[in-house]
Structure 1
Amino acid sequence: MKKIIKYITVVFTAGVLLNSCETTDLDLRTSPNDLAADQADPNLLLNSIQLAYVANMYELNDIGSELTRIDYMLGRNYFNTYPGNTLDDVWERLYSSTDGNGDVFTSDVDLGIFPNVANLQVIDEGTDTDFSFHIAVGQTLKAHMLLLLADYLGKATLSEAGNPVDFPAPLLDDGQAVYTGALALLDQAEALFAAGPADQGATDFFYGGDTDQWIKLVNTIKLKAAVTTGDVSTFNSIIASGDYISDSGDDFQFQYGSRDLQPDTRHPDYQDDYTPSGANIYQSNWIMNNMLVKNDPRIRYYFYRQVDATPGAAGEPASEEDLACSLAIAPAHYDGFVYCSVPNGYWGRSHGNNEGTPPDGFLRTAVGVYPAAGRFDDNSFGGVGLGLGGGGAGIEPIILASYVDFWQAELASSPAAKAAFLESAMTKSIEKVQGFGSLDATANTSFAPTGTDVTTYIDGIVADYLAASGNDQTNILSEQYWIALYGGGVEAFNYYRRTGFPTTLAPNWELNPGSFPRSFLYPQTEVITNSNVSQKSDLSTQVFWDTNPAGPAFPSAN
Structure 2
Amino acid sequence: MKKIFSILTISSLAILTGCVNGDEDFNNNKSQPYEVPAELVFANAQKELMDQMETPSVNLNVFRFFQHYLATTIYRNDARFNFTGTRKVPDNMWLALYTDVLGNLNESKKVIATEVKPTAMSQIAWEKQQANKLAIINLLEVYTYQILVDSFGNVPYSEAAKPETIVLPKYDDAKTIYENLITRINSALSTLDSGYGSFESGDNIYNGDVGEWIVFANSLKLKIGINLADVNPTLAKQTVESAYTGGVLLTNAENALFKYDSTSPNFNRLYAEVIASNRNDFVAEEGIVNVMNDLNDPRRPFYFTDVSGAYVGGTVGLSNGYGSNSHIGESLLAPNKPGKLFDAAEVNFYLAEAAARGYSVGNTAEQYYQTAIERSMQQWGVSAADITTYLANPDVVFSTANWKMKIGQQAWIAMFNRGFESWNFYRRLDYPVLTAPNAIPAADGKVPTRLTYPINEQTVNGANWNSASSAIGGDKLTTKVFWDIN
Normalising by the residue count of structure 2, what TM-score does the alignment of the two structures yield?
0.77
Paired residues for 1:42-441 under 5 Å:
42-58=38-54, 62-72=61-71, 74-75=76-77, 80-81=82-83, 85-96=88-99, 112-114=101-103, 116-121=105-110, 123-125=112-114, 127-128=116-117, 130=126, 131-194=130-193, 196-199=195-198, 201-230=200-229, 231-241=236-246, 243-259=247-263, 263-274=264-275, 279-305=280-306, 307-308=307-308, 344=310, 346-353=311-318, 355=319, 360=322, 363-370=324-331, 372=332, 374=333, 391-413=334-356, 417-434=364-381
Distance 1:114 1:188 in 2: 21
Partner of 1:522: 453
Query: Hey, which of these two has a bigger chunk of helix by percent?
Result: 2
Distance 1:187 1:33, change over 3 A: farther
Q: Is this contact kept in 2: 1:170–1:532, CA < 8 A?
A: no
SS of aligned partner of 1:367: coil
Distance 1:136 1:93 in 2: 22
Distance 1:463 1:49, change over 3 A: closer
Aligned partner of 1:488 among 412, 415, 418: 418
Distance 1:154 1:43 in 2: 31
Paired residues for 1:444-459 under 5 Å:
450-459=383-392
Shift of 1:79: 5.3
Distance 1:404 1:34 in 2: 42
SS of aligned partner of 2:144: helix
Partner of 1:17: none
Shift of 1:482: 0.6
Distance 1:254 1:115 in 2: 17
Shift of 1:276: 9.3
Amino acid at match of 1:63: V
Amino acid at match of 1:465: F
Shift of 1:137: 2.6
Aligned partner of 2:405 among 466, 475, 483: 475
Shift of 1:401: 1.0
Amino acid at match of 1:393: N
Shift of 1:92: 2.2
Distance 2:397 2:105 in 1: 50
SS of aligned partner of 1:221: helix
Q: Is this contact kept in 1: 2:37–2:111, CA < 8 A?
A: no
Shift of 1:414: 7.9
The unaligned stretches of length 5 or more in structure 2 are 1-28, 119-125, 230-235, 470-474
Amino acid at match of 1:419: E
Shift of 1:235: 0.6
Distance 1:533 1:71, change over 3 A: farther
Shift of 1:301: 1.0
Distance 1:414 1:395 in 2: 33
Shift of 1:431: 0.8
Shift of 1:126: 5.7
SS of aligned partner of 1:87: helix
Q: Is this contact kept in 1: 2:258–2:338, CA < 8 A?
A: yes
SS of aligned partner of 1:173: coil
Residues 205-239 of structure 1: CA distance to partner in whole angstroms, max 9, x if unpaired? 10111100001001110100000011022212221
Partner of 1:27: none
Distance 1:481 1:122, change over 3 A: same
Distance 1:32 1:431, change over 3 A: farther
Partner of 1:339: none
Shift of 1:293: 1.7
Shift of 1:80: 2.3
SS of aligned partner of 1:215: helix
Shift of 1:492: 1.9
SS of aligned partner of 1:412: helix
Partner of 1:314: none
Residues 4-49 of structure 1: CA distance to partner in whole angstroms, max 9, x if unpaired? xxxxxxxxxxxxxxxxxxxxxxxxxxx999456xx43222121222
Q: Report how many residues are paired.
A: 422
Distance 1:119 1:400, change over 3 A: closer
Amino acid at match of 2:449: R
Distance 1:540 1:62 in 2: 18
Amino acid at match of 1:368: G
The unaligned stretches of length 5 or more in structure 1 are 1-30, 97-110, 310-343, 375-390, 435-448, 549-558
Q: Is this contact kept in 1: 2:62–2:79, CA < 8 A?
A: no
SS of aligned partner of 1:40: coil
Fraction of identical pairs, as percent: 22
Distance 2:278 2:421 in 1: 33
Distance 2:95 2:83 in 1: 20
Amino acid at match of 2:198: D
Q: Is this contact kept in 2: 1:405–1:425, CA < 8 A?
A: yes
Distance 1:200 1:397 in 2: 20
Distance 1:530 1:254, change over 3 A: same
Distance 2:30 2:216 in 1: 27
Q: Is this contact kept in 2: 1:42–1:134, CA < 8 A?
A: no
Amino acid at match of 1:87: P
Partner of 1:556: none
Partner of 2:36: 40
